[in-house]
Amino acid sequence: MSNVTWHGQRALVTGASSGIGAAIARRLAGSGATLVLTGRDADRLAAVAASCNSADGRVSSLAGDLADPGFREKLAAEARSRMDGIDLLVNNAGISMNARFETLEPEVFRTICEINFFAAVDLTRLMLDDLKKSAGRILVMSSLTGLVGTPTRTAYSASKHALHGFFNALRVELRPFGVGITLVCPGYVQTPIRTRALLGDGAVQGRDQAAGRRMLSADTVAAASLRAAWKRRRLLVLGRETRLARILSLLAPGPLERILDHATR
Ligand SMILES: NC(=O)c1ccc[n+]([C@@H]2O[C@H](COP(=O)([O-])OP(=O)(O)OC[C@H]3O[C@@H](n4cnc5c(N)ncnc54)[C@H](OP(=O)(O)O)[C@@H]3O)[C@@H](O)[C@H]2O)c1
């Protein structure tokens, strides 16, 4: 369905150089959307833009670090001038972690919140007038950890919970303008995010601790997320285990904590 509906829509996609963001970019481009893509790695970003198979200049990219507030401003200005506004903001860029809180350096905690939360808040602020004008949509890539506190992911979980607090409040403020906000919560997705996750001292983990598990594909998540955003759904919880954990967190938090503790020891 997303192959038809996004025709002519203008979208800014963060975290488009890899994983779920790249899959979202390809789906949007395939449906005729005009795109500005961003990520840190210029070569991988250019490769994703090229794989969008758009020879007519509908897909452009700007590489940079979303931890830098100056880059966020530059990106917003570029998106506005290249597309003359925006209909869809995809706040997808993110980094993960794997460390218990007592070993987590405070700067690493802040870095995770800066990218996963504050960059999304800032970009939303910078594009707000455009989104109000178009009665557009904001798609926010959260996680199961945005609904359920997860051991060894304290900063990641906090940054994702913060997304829910912020965007649920903003959705109400934006009701008069018809802006839709969709929070997506997948469980495990097959992407390099865990290999690139930060350890307590900020070093890159360099391996996928969940390798071998059954996971959703990035494209499955992209397709479902875009469908939900199109329908302006508030929340999409993706994956059987994720939905079960969500229900347990509401109905049986004690047993769920024991399961999570056991699984991360
Ligand atoms: N994979 C999962 O299991 C899973 C589950 C639930 C939620 N999620 C969420 O899904 C989103 C996408 O993750 P993914 O799994 O697709 O991971 P990924 O393949 O590692 O992609 C992450 C993307 O975020 C970008 N990014 C990271 N730090 C950045 C920074 N400082 N500035 C600019 N861009 C930055 C990366 O850019 P570069 O590669 O160019 O650095 C990359 O494009 C994240 O928000 C993640 O929390 C993932």
Q: What pLDDT shows up at residue 189?
A: 97
Give the mean pLDDT of the chain: 96
Q: What pLDDT shows up at residue 3?
A: 47
Q: Which of 6, 117, 156, 230 is catalytic?
A: 156
Question: Is the Cβ atom of 136 under 6 angstroms away from ligand 1?
Answer: no
Question: Is the Cβ atom of 255 under 6 angstroms away from ligand 1?
Answer: no
Q: What pLDDT shows up at residue 2?
A: 43
Question: Is the Cβ atom of 146 under 6 angstroms away from ligand 1?
Answer: no
Q: Give 252 Cα–ligand 1 centroid separation in angstroms.
A: 31
Residue-wise pLDDT for 27-55, tens only, equals 999 999 999 999 999 999 999 999 997 77
Give every CB contact of residue 58 below 8 A, 6+ residues apart in sequence: 29, 32, 33, 34, 35
Q: Give 15 Cα–ligand 1 centroid separation in angstroms.
A: 5
Residue whose CA is at the smallest distance from ligand 1 atom 10: 141
Pairing of strands 10-13, 34-39: parallel
Q: Average pLDDT in the 183-193 region?
A: 97
CATH superfamily of 2-240: NAD(P)-binding Rossmann-like Domain (3.40.50.720)
Give CA–CA dist 236/251, Å, rounded: 19
Residue whose CA is at the smallest distance from ligand 1 atom 19: 19
Q: What pLDDT shows up at residue 5?
A: 80
Residue-wise pLDDT for 64-118, tens only, equals 999 999 999 999 999 999 999 999 999 999 999 999 999 999 999 999 999 999 9
- 119: nearest Cα among 84, 77, 71, 62: 71
* Share of residues in the chain with pLDDT > 70 (%): 98
**Global confidence as pTM:** 0.97
Instruction: Give the tokens for residue 41.
Output: 């790695």
Residue-wise pLDDT for 111-162, tens only, equals 999 999 999 999 999 999 999 999 999 999 999 999 999 999 999 999 999 9
Q: What pLDDT shows up at residue 4?
A: 58
The H-or-E segment that residue 236 falls in is strand 235-238
- 9: nearest Cα among 38, 27, 32: 32
**Helix-strand-coil split of the chain, %, nearest 5:** 50, 15, 35
Q: Domain extents for the chain?
A: 2-240
Our answer to whether residue 188 is catalytic in this structure is no
Give CA–CA dist 202/193, Å, rounded: 15
Which residue among 12, 24, 36, 40 has the greatest number of ligand 1 atoms within 8 angstroms of its CB, and so is best to mutate? 40
Which range is least confidently modeled, 21-25, 52-56, 158-162, 215-219? Answer: 52-56
Is a pLDDT exceeding 60 seen at residue 1? no
Question: Is the Cβ atom of 98 under 6 angstroms away from ligand 1?
Answer: no
Q: Is the Cα dihedral 180, 245, 187, 99 positive or negative?
A: positive
Question: Is the Cβ atom of 222 under 6 angstroms away from ligand 1?
Answer: no
